Amino acid sequence: MSHVAIIGTGRYLPEHIMTNDDLSELVDTSDEWIRTRTGIRERRVSTGISTSDLAYEAGKRAVVEAGLKPEDIDLIICTTITPDYFMPSCACIVQERIGAVNSAAFDLTAACTGMIYGMVTAEQFIKSGMYENVLVIGSETLSRILDWEDRSSCVLFGDGAGAVVMSKTDKGGVLLASRLEADGSKSNLLTCSAIPLQNPYVKSPSHFQPTEIEMQGMPKKDLYRLPKIEMIGQEVFKYAVRTITDNINNILKKAGLSIDDIAYIIPHQANQRIIEQASKFCKVPLERFYMNLDRYGNTSAASIGIALDELVATGELKQGDRLILVGFGGGMTSGSILLEWR
Ligand code: COA
């Protein structure tokens, strides 16, 4: 029986680079603090390009790399916490722009674990026989929901998109095992509110009052607090280390493999210190963890797709190399996929 495999990858980043020094002009921080606490040196920030634009560019590249035509795609799953609209979905915008005329399309939200949730969802559609070729895109313009006055969070994130095409075949990045987890009891650790309930029976709740900056020049009817990322950083840090470690151990067990069988681990790119601690707990040399967070920061649902596409582009992946992709994020959510390159 054929497996489900990744047959093409793509990425797209906004051109504008925001360095740590640029950030130190906005908030009370320094290049030294950000580098030593996170490993991040710079990130890409949109100067106008939207989540669906990034998704379109990354998705288009993945379809070309897969050797497919847009009309061969049966389903597009976009995963994002920063869509351009509640409706239409980012996936529908991409479907029209790439010309995937035979494709169904929907968005999926699992915060920074979005790419793993999206790929595991695609795997199930392909395994069931419902679809042959699925395009999964993680795309974010996190810059639109950052609190640019909060130095403890705005320095961590960036914008970008990564994509994969998955199909039923034994060639490419063949999925050997996958798993998903969620723990809603920790949902308060990482949040971003939506628009408040406002209708003839409910007035705007007080905690949605705007900040001074948001009030400037804004029409009165829009005077609620815009959605912003808020987090309890140290608790997220501990959760991340524990969940990366557990996911790696559990997926190895599920696949009947040991850590020595793994060539690369692509973790969600949140913080170098999180990855260093997880590498110690899992007893895996740090060199086996692929990292690009120094250049892009945390791009949430996009990070694993961007990193995988970069690793593929290096040409370093050899036949038989096994990889673990491991994500974690708001919700809290986590998940992992074990692949073999054939
Ligand atoms: N520049 C300078 N100082 C900063 C700063 C910044 N950008 N951000 C916070 N600080 C200050 C704090 O105000 C605090 O000052 P104080 O001691 O005077 O109160 C000090 O640095 C230490 O803050 P602390 O929160 O203890 O730092 P930390 O070592 O825990 O690092 C994070 C903070 C946010 C980098 C870290 O907790 C983290 O990475 N957490 C995970 C976040 C994450 O990955 N989220 C997304 C997951 S998908």
Ligand 1 atom with the shortest distance to the CA of 30: 1
The model's pLDDT over 324-335, given as tens digits with 9 standing for 90+, comes to: 999 999 999 999
Does ligand 1 have an atom closer than 6 angstroms to the CB of 250?
A: no
Q: What's the pLDDT at 194?
A: 87
The model's pLDDT over 7-54, given as tens digits with 9 standing for 90+, comes to: 999 999 999 999 999 999 999 999 999 999 999 999 999 999 999 999
Tokens representing residue 195 in the block: 């628009």
17-21 long-range contacts, Cβ below 8 Å, gap at least 24? 17/42, 17/43, 17/44, 17/45, 18/42, 18/43, 18/44, 18/45, 18/158, 20/155
Please calculate the CA angle 172-174-176 and round it to the nearest 5 degrees.
Answer: 165
Cβ partners under 8 Å of residue 185, min gap 6: none
The model's pLDDT over 263-285, given as tens digits with 9 standing for 90+, comes to: 999 999 999 999 999 999 999 99
For the cut 90, the answer to whether the pLDDT of residue 125 exceeds it is yes
Residue type, 117: Y
Tokens representing residue 19 in the block: 């360095």
**Which stretch of 95-99, 107-111, 226-230 has the lowest confidence by average pLDDT?**
226-230
Is 292 considered catalytic here? no
CA of 329 from ligand 1 middle (Å) equals 17
For the cut 70, the answer to whether the pLDDT of residue 212 exceeds it is no
Q: Is 231 helix (H, G, I), strand (E, B) or coil?
A: strand
- d(CA 158, CA 42) in angstroms, rounded, equals 9
Is 268 considered catalytic here? yes
Cβ partners under 8 Å of residue 333, min gap 6: 110, 111, 112, 113, 117, 180, 181, 182, 183, 327
Q: What's the pLDDT at 220?
A: 52
Q: What's the pLDDT at 1?
A: 58
Does ligand 1 have an atom closer than 6 angstroms to the CB of 237?
A: yes
Region 295-305 average pLDDT: 98
Q: Is 198 helix (H, G, I), strand (E, B) or coil?
A: coil
Asked if residue 186 lies in contact with residue 332, where contact means CB atoms within 8 angstroms, the answer is yes
Longest dimension (CA), the chain: 62
To test the pocket of ligand 1, the residue of 237, 269, 334 to mutate (highest count of ligand atoms within 8 Å of its CB) is 237
Q: What's the pLDDT at 184?
A: 96
What is the CATH topology of the domain spanning 3-170?
Answer: Peroxisomal Thiolase; Chain A, domain 1 (3.40.47)
Taking each helix axis from N to C terminus, what angle separates 233-255 and 272-282, rounded to the nearest 10 degrees?
A: 40
Does ligand 1 have an atom closer than 6 angstroms to the CB of 208?
A: no
Q: What's the pLDDT at 235?
A: 96
Tokens representing residue 248 in the block: 């790696």
Nearest CA to ligand 1 atom 38: 233
Q: What is the pTM of this model?
A: 0.94
**Which stretch of 72-76, 77-81, 143-147, 220-224 has the lowest confidence by average pLDDT?**
220-224
Comparing CA positions, the residue from 178, 172, 165 lying closest to residue 320 is: 172
Best-predicted range by mean pLDDT (71-85, 191-205, 207-221) = 71-85
- The CATH superfamily assigned to 176-187+230-341 is Thiolase/Chalcone synthase (3.40.47.10)
| Average confidence score pLDDT of the chain | 94
CA of 233 from ligand 1 middle (Å) equals 6
Does ligand 1 have an atom closer than 6 angstroms to the CB of 20?
A: no
Ligand 1 atom with the shortest distance to the CA of 111: 48
Provide the residue count of the chain. Answer: 342
Does ligand 1 have an atom closer than 6 angstroms to the CB of 236?
A: yes
For the cut 80, the answer to whether the pLDDT of residue 218 exceeds it is no
To test the pocket of ligand 1, the residue of 32, 152, 156 to mutate (highest count of ligand atoms within 8 Å of its CB) is 152
The model's pLDDT over 6-19, given as tens digits with 9 standing for 90+, comes to: 999 999 999 999 99
pLDDT band at 172 (very low <50, low <70, confident <90, very high): very high
pLDDT band at 204 (very low <50, low <70, confident <90, very high): low
Nearest CA to ligand 1 atom 40: 233
- d(CA 162, CA 58) in angstroms, rounded, equals 6
Q: What percent of the chain has pLDDT over 90?
A: 89
Comparing CA positions, the residue from 41, 40, 44 lying closest to residue 57 is: 44
Best-predicted range by mean pLDDT (55-69, 207-221, 224-238) = 55-69
Higher pLDDT, 210 or 99: 99
Is 16 considered catalytic here? no
Domain boundaries, the chain: 3-170, 176-187+230-341
- d(CA 206, CA 2) in angstroms, rounded, equals 56
